[in-house]
Structure 1
Amino acid sequence: ALNNPFAAGSFRWVAKGVYVSGNRAGEDCVCKWFKKGCVMESHFYETDLESSRKAIELISNWNSKGLIDKMIKVNLPEVWEFKNNSIRAGQKVLQEPFIEGYQKFNSNTGWADDSLPWPRVMQALSHFTYHISGGQCLLCDIQGGVYSDGVVLTDPVVMSTSIVYGPTDLGPKGMSTFFANHTCNEYCRAEWLKPRNRQSYYAPTAGTTMVSQRRVPTRTSRPAMTQLGYVYE
């Protein structure tokens, strides 16, 4: 299946398979892995899981408020590693249940499909997560499948003031960009928080945007530049 991916995101391939053991034996699943040339380290898989866990926490809060009459759930992926007897020995992938009728509702740069009720619900969900977190984070890049009793989401992006959720966490500028493009709808509440800064820092695109998180080594034995009385540029 990995030799014939059926879909691709901005930086990952997606292949479809079937669980062969465990509680989900016989059920369809998807496998996701980073594209070659996309500079990613293995710890980013753990960052993906942290983002999903945070998304579950935020969405559980939404569900508990009874804001709509349907449930929203999130697939929590597992990190699998190929065994040594495989040609892909050591390679890590994200594995999760397959979602029927996959669609994208919004992105992490302010783009949104708000033409139908469920996409508008997702815009309200993004706004709600900013409000309920006290402006500390915002759930976006929301995508998944609509079922008779609700929606199942996958690969959500969490943007945060501290920028701790990986290369798709665009931080305060990303949150500002969301609100620069967001118009409250019938699922939003007037009392929900909004940032003072609602400037757009990114061009709205349907794809997922990443930022480089490469750090430049510094000489820790020397004082920070902010401690100096002068700086030459």
Structure 2
Amino acid sequence: MELNHKSLGQGEPLIVLHGLFGTLDNWQTLAKSWAEHYLVYLVDLRNHGRSPHVDGLSYPAMAQDLHDFMELNWIHKAHVLGHSMGGKVAMEFALTYPDMVDKLIVVDIAPRAYAPGHDEIFTALFAIDLNTLESRQAAEAVLEQYIPEWGVRQFLLKNLSRIKEGGFEWKMNLPIIYRDYAQILAPPSEADPFEGPALFIRGEQSRYVRDEDILHIQELFPRSTLQTVPNASHWVHAEQPELLNGMVMEFLEKG
């Protein structure tokens, strides 16, 4: 399986992985900045964006996808950055294939199981009848009944794609994401610690990475540091892109 991707810039490879319901486009602005120094690969994970729709959505499977992607593109070793679900994929990959990871960056997620928290989003998405949908505005009107946050609605609507013959379809594989949602909430696989440099970044207003997670992070990633982005929730890259950019660049430039 070949993952959909875009590449920008030149230099050492930096692979960027989006979160649940996301696509590679979510990170384009920051990628353009990083591309001044690195060869940046923006990747659509399986069942997301324009990557293949396949049966199954687990972290071992997504780590294997990334391994295959690197081999297909002759990338022997790379810096790997992931946000939320993509952060868990990045952790799984580093723990499973440590020799293929130079530096690891995990944005606003910890290596633990999470409680369900996307029920309203699933309900809203399934409430949109693609067979009768006539416009993006009509889709947003449906979402608005369930999701008050304008930014979240716009984020989700990036998954809506117009069909040439008329009508709309989801870029993401919504039925499989819903069926395997428990796998997304699960922690990365148990493995030997990743001994390479790792940076964990959390939003100050987010509850995804708690102080009590730090010990387990350090057990699995003994050379890790944790930085907190002020005035940011889970969507660190959207709310504080310049601060996040500075933290990432400082970490990558360190010898």
Taking structure 1 as the reference length, the TM-score comes to 0.27
Taking structure 2 as the reference length, the TM-score comes to 0.25
Larger CA Rg, structure 1 vs 2? 1
